[in-house]
C-alpha cells in the first residue's frame, strides 16, 4: 500500500503511466453528483469593510475639526460674528458640492459605527443573533443616510 495521495510505485520503484493517471484522476477530478453546479453568490462582507474603512478615515481626518468648530468654537465665541448667520450657512449648504460632501461626512461614520458596533455586540457583549444584529446595525446606518439625503435635498 502507498501513502494516501501519492502515486503507487511500479516494479523497481518506477511509476507506470496508467497508475499515475489513475491516481491523479482520483485526486483531481471533482466528484460528480449533486451540488456541483451550485452558484456561490459573492459575500457583501468586503463592501461592509470598505465602508468601515472609509468611515474610519473620515472620522479620523474630517470629524475632529467639524466638532471643534460646530460644538466648541461657536459656543466659546471664537468665531467671527456672522460666520454662523442663517444666510451664510444656508448659501454654503445649498451648493451641490457641499451637499455631496455633507452626505459623505454624515453617512460614512454611520457605516463605520455600524460595522464596529456589530462586532462589539458579538465579541464584547457576547450576544449572538447574527442576522438580527447585522440588519439592526446596517439598517440604522442606511436609515441615517436616507434621512441625511432627505434633509440635504430640502435645504
Partner 1 sequence: MFAAGFSVLMLAFLLSLSRGKQAYEGFLRWLDGPWAVAVSVLILAAVLYHTATWFRLTTHIVEIRFGRRVAPGAAIGGALVAAWIVASAVVAYFHVWFWR
Give the residues lining the site for partner 1 (CB under 8 A). Answer: 55-72, 74-76, 79-80, 82-84, 86, 88-93, 98, 102, 105-107, 109-110, 112-113, 116-117, 144, 147-148, 151-152, 154-155
DSSP 12: G
Nearer to partner 1, 15 or 152 (CB): 152
Q: Are the CB atoms for 127 and 121 separated by under 8 Å? A: yes
Secondary structure letter of residue 116 according to DSSP: H
Instruction: Report the alpha-carbon distance of residue 128 to residue 136 in Å, rounded.
Output: 13
In the bound complex, what is the minimum distance in angstroms from residue 100's beta carbon to partner 1?
A: 13
- Give the separation between CA 29 and CA 125, rounded to whole angstroms: 45
Q: Tell me the closest approach of the beta carbon of residue 107 to partner 1, in angstroms.
A: 8
Considering the complex, state which of residue 27 and residue 155 has its C-beta at the smaller distance from partner 1: 155
Least gap, CB of 57 to partner 1 (angstroms): 7
Spatial separation of the C-alpha atoms in residues 18 and 26, rounded to whole Å: 12
Amino acid at each position: 500500500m502507498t501513502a494516501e495521495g501519492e502515486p503507487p510505485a511500479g516494479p523497481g520503484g518506477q511509476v507506470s503511466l496508467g497508475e499515475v493517471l489513475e491516481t491523479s484522476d482520483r485526486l483531481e477530478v471533482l466528484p460528480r453528483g449533486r451540488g456541483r453546479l451550485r452558484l456561490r453568490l459573492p459575500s457583501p462582507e468586503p463592501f461592509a469593510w470598505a465602508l468601515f474603512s472609509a468611515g474610519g478615515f473620515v472620522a479620523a481626518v474630517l470629524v475632529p475639526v467639524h466638532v471643534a468648530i460646530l460644538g466648541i468654537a461657536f459656543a466659546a465665541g471664537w468665531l467671527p460674528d456672522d460666520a454662523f448667520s442663517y444666510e451664510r450657512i444656508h448659501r454654503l449648504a445649498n451648493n451641490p458640492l457641499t451637499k455631496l460632501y455633507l452626505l459623505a461626512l454624515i453617512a460614512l461614520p454611520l457605516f463605520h459605527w455600524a460595522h464596529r458596533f456589530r462586532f462589539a455586540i458579538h465579541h464584547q457583549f457576547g450576544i449572538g443573533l447574527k442576522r438580527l444584529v447585522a440588519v439592526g446595525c446596517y439598517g440604522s446606518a442606511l436609515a441615517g443616510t436616507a434621512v441625511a439625503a432627505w434633509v440635504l435635498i430640502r435645504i
